[in-house]
Structure 1
Amino acid sequence: MRDKNNLHLTAAEMSSLWTQYINDTLAVCVNTYFIKNVEDEDVRPIIEKTLEIAKMNLSIMKDIFDKENFPIPIGFTEKDVNSDAPKLLSDTFVLLYLRHMSILGVAASTAAIALATRSDVLDFHKRVLDKGIMLQDLIRNLMLDQGTYVKPPYISIPEKVDFVSKQQFLNGLFGDKRALTSIEISHLFLNIQTNAIGKALMIAFAQTTKDEEVKQFLVKGKKMAQKHVDIFSDYLKKESIPAPMIWDTAVTNTTTHVFSDKLVMFHVSAMIAAGIGNYGMAMAVSPRRDIGLKYASLIPEIALYAEDGANILIKHGWMEEPPQADDREQLI
C-alpha cells in the first residue's frame, strides 16, 4: 500500500500550510511583545501557552516543508516587533484579542481539514484545531471568572415550534418588520464585536506607526469600523437588545513604535478578509431583506478598503507571494 505521506502536497494543502505559517510567525511576534508587558498574572499563562503553540506549529510545518523542498516562507521575525516598547493594550483586551484570533484559527483549520489529503497535513491541522479550542476554553473561563466576558444577548425561549406562513417574514424594506431571529442577532453581535476589536487595534497601530500613508489608512479603517458598529448596533437597539461594548479605552497613550508597518498592514488586511467572510455568511442567513441588503452594501466598501491595503503592501514590497500555479502561457 502506498504511503499516504509520500503524496505530493495539493494546492489546498500548500495554501493552508503557507497561510498558517505566516500567521504563526505573526503570533510569535505579537505574543513575545505581550509577554513583556502583561501585568495580570492570570493572563500570563495564556499568552505563554499561545506563544508555545505557535512555535510548535512552526516547527512541525518546517519539517513538512523541508521534506517537500518547499521554500520556507519568511513571514515575520524579531525585526518586526519592538519587544521593549511600553504597554500598548490592556490585559483584558489582550485576552479578547487572543480569543478572537483563536476563533479565526479554528475556522481556518476546520476548512483545511476538509480539504486535506495527506495524513501528516491532516494531523497537523487537527492539532491546530484542538489547540485553538483549548485556548478558547481557557480564555472564556478566565474572562468569566474576572467578569469581563461579554456574552451574546438573551432572548425568550419559543413557546412552541412554528413554521413561516407569510412572505411578510422576509419584509424589511417597506411595511412592518418582524422581530430579529436568533441567527440574525448572533451575526449582528459577532460583527459588532469584531469591528470593535478591529477599531481598537487600528487606533493602537495608528498611534504607534511612523509612516504617514499607513497612518491615514488606519485612521480611515477606524472610522469605517465605528460606522459599521453603529449600523449593526442600531438593529439590536431598536428591539431593546443590548449591543456589545467598544474597546477604545483599552489602548494606552504610548506612541512608541511597537510593530513594523509590514506586520501592521498584513494584520489589518487579514482581519479585513475575515470580516468580508463574516459579512457574506451573515447575509446568507439573514432572511430579512433590509439586513441582507445592508450587508451586501457594506461588502464592496470593505473590499475597496482591502484593495487600498494591498496596494500599500505591494508598493513597499511587504506582500509575500503565496504559492501559484504554473503560468502555461509564459512557459510556452
Structure 2
Amino acid sequence: MEDKSKIRLTSAEMTCLWTQYINDTLGICVNQYFLEKTDDDEVRPLIEYTLQVAKENLDIMETIFKKEHFPVPIGFTDEDVNPRAPKLFSDSFVLYYLRYLSILAMAASSAALGLATRPDVIEFHKRVLDKGVKLQDKTRDLMLKQGIYIKPPYISTPDKVDFVKKQSFLAGFWGNQRSLSSAEITHLFLNIQSNIIGKTLITGLAQIAEHDDVKQLLLRGKRMAHKHVEIFSEYLLREDLPAPMGWDPALTDSTTKVFSDKLILFNVTAMIAAGIGNYGMAMAASPRRDIAARYASLIPEVGLFAEDAANLMIKHGWMEEPPQADDRNSLIKGKPTSN
C-alpha cells in the first residue's frame, strides 16, 4: 500500500495551500490594522484570535512547502499595511467583516477537504475549518450581545407536507408568480448582505487608494454592489419581507493610505470570486425562472469586473502567479535536437 505521508502534493493540494497562504498573509495585514484601531474591548479579542490563527496557519504551510521544495509565496507583507493610519472602519463593521471571513474560510476549507489526499494536508484544512467555525460562533455571539446581528427573514411554519402539482411552480416571467421559497429567500438575503459588506469595504478602500485607475474601478464596484442590493431587495420587499440595511456610518472620512493598492485589489477580487460562487449556488437553488435568470444575467457583469481588476493587477505587476502545469509545447520546442 502507498505511504500517503511521502506522496507528492497534487495540483488540488498545491492550489488550496497556495491560495490559503496568500489569504492568510492578507488577513495578517488587515487584522494588524484593525487591532491597532479598535476601540471596542469586546471586538479586540476576536481580532487577536483571527490574527493568531493566520500566523499559525502560515507556520504550518511553510513547513509543508519547505518539505516539498515548493517556493513559499510572497503574498502580503508589512509593506502593504500602515497600522499608524487613522481609523477607517467602525468596530461594528470590523465585526461584520470578520464574520464574513469566517464564512469564506468554512467554504474554502470544506472544498479543500474534498480534494485533499495527504494526511498532513487533510489535518491542516480540518484545522482551518474548525477555526472558521469557532470564529463564526464568536462573532455571532458578540453581534447578538451588541444587538447588531441581522437575522434572515421569518416565514410561517408549513401546516403539512405537500408536493408541487403544477408547472407554474417554475414560472416567473408571465402569469401568476408563486411566493418565494425558503431557499430563494435565504439566498436573496445572503447576497444582499454580502453586497452590502462589499459595498462598504470598497467605498472605504476607494477613499484611501493611491492610483486613479484603482479608484475608478472601486467606484464602479461600489455602483455595481448598490445595484445588486436594490435588485435582490426588491424581491423580498414585494412579499413584505424585510431586506438587510446598509451601514454607511461604518466609515470615517479618512483618506490616509492604510493598505497598498496591490492588497486592495486582491481583497476585492477575492470577495468578487466568492460572490460569483454565491450567485451560482443561488441560481441552482431558485426554481422560479425569473430569479434564476436574474442571477445568470448578473454573473457576467461581476465576472467582467473581476477580469478588469485582474488586468489592473497585471498592469502594475502585482499579480503573483499560482502553480501551473508544465507547458509541454514550449519544453519540446526549447529542447535541442540530436544529430
TM-score norm. by structure 1 comes to 0.99
For 2:35, the equivalent position in structure 1 comes to: 35
Counterparts of 1:244-323 in structure 2, within 5 Å, are 244-323=244-323
Inter-partner Cα distance in structure 1 for 2:5 and 2:218: 43
What is the DSSP-based 3-state SS (H/G/I as helix, E as strand, rest coil) of the residue aligned with 1:318?
A: coil
Instruction: State whether residues 199 and 248 of structure 1, in contact with CA within 8 Å, keep that contact through their aligned partners in structure 2.
Output: no
1:271 counterpart letter in structure 2: M
What is the DSSP-based 3-state SS (H/G/I as helix, E as strand, rest coil) of the residue aligned with 1:256?
A: coil
For 1:48, the equivalent position in structure 2 comes to: 48
Instruction: State whether residues 211 and 261 of structure 1, in contact with CA within 8 Å, keep that contact through their aligned partners in structure 2.
Output: yes
For 1:325, the equivalent position in structure 2 comes to: 325
Gapped regions of structure 2 (runs ≥ 5): 333-339
Matched, 1:178 2:172: no
1:192 counterpart letter in structure 2: I
Inter-partner Cα distance in structure 2 for 1:128 and 1:50: 11
Inter-partner Cα distance in structure 1 for 2:125 and 2:177: 43
What is the DSSP-based 3-state SS (H/G/I as helix, E as strand, rest coil) of the residue aligned with 1:6?
A: coil
CA drift at 1:248: 2.0
For 1:10, the equivalent position in structure 2 comes to: 10
Q: Which string of whole-angstrom CA distances, capped at 9 and with x for unpartnered residues, describes residues 79-135 of structure 1?
A: 000010111101011010001011001100000000000000000000000000000
For 2:198, the equivalent position in structure 1 comes to: 198
For 1:239, the equivalent position in structure 2 comes to: 239
Matched, 1:144 2:138: no
Inter-partner Cα distance in structure 2 for 1:89 and 1:170: 43
Corresponding residue pairs, total: 332
For 2:335, the equivalent position in structure 1 comes to: none
Instruction: State whether residues 106 and 129 of structure 1, in contact with CA within 8 Å, keep that contact through their aligned partners in structure 2.
Output: yes
What is the DSSP-based 3-state SS (H/G/I as helix, E as strand, rest coil) of the residue aligned with 1:323?
A: coil
TM-score norm. by structure 2 comes to 0.97
Inter-partner Cα distance in structure 1 for 2:219 and 2:189: 23
CA drift at 1:3: 3.1
For 1:215, the equivalent position in structure 2 comes to: 215
Counterparts of 1:20-99 in structure 2, within 5 Å, are 20-99=20-99
Inter-partner Cα distance in structure 2 for 1:194 and 1:73: 28
Q: Which string of whole-angstrom CA distances, capped at 9 and with x for unpartnered residues, describes residues 242-291 of structure 1?
A: 00011222011111100000000001011111111100110011000110
CA drift at 1:2: 4.3
For 2:115, the equivalent position in structure 1 comes to: 115
Q: CA RMSD in A?
A: 0.6
For 2:130, the equivalent position in structure 1 comes to: 130
Inter-partner Cα distance in structure 1 for 2:247 and 2:295: 23
Inter-partner Cα distance in structure 1 for 2:12 and 2:278: 21
1:50 counterpart letter in structure 2: T
Instruction: State whether residues 13 and 112 of structure 1, in contact with CA within 8 Å, keep that contact through their aligned partners in structure 2.
Output: yes
CA drift at 1:210: 1.6
Matched, 1:226 2:226: yes
2:177 counterpart letter in structure 1: K
Identity of aligned residues (%): 66
1:303 counterpart letter in structure 2: G
Q: Which string of whole-angstrom CA distances, capped at 9 and with x for unpartnered residues, describes residues 194-243 of structure 1?
A: 00000001100000112100000000000000000000000000000000
Instruction: State whether residues 269 and 306 of structure 1, in contact with CA within 8 Å, keep that contact through their aligned partners in structure 2.
Output: yes
Q: Runs of 4 or more off by more than 4 Å in structure 1? A: none
Inter-partner Cα distance in structure 2 for 1:147 and 1:329: 60
Inter-partner Cα distance in structure 2 for 1:142 and 1:276: 29
Instruction: State whether residues 46 and 135 of structure 1, in contact with CA within 8 Å, keep that contact through their aligned partners in structure 2.
Output: yes
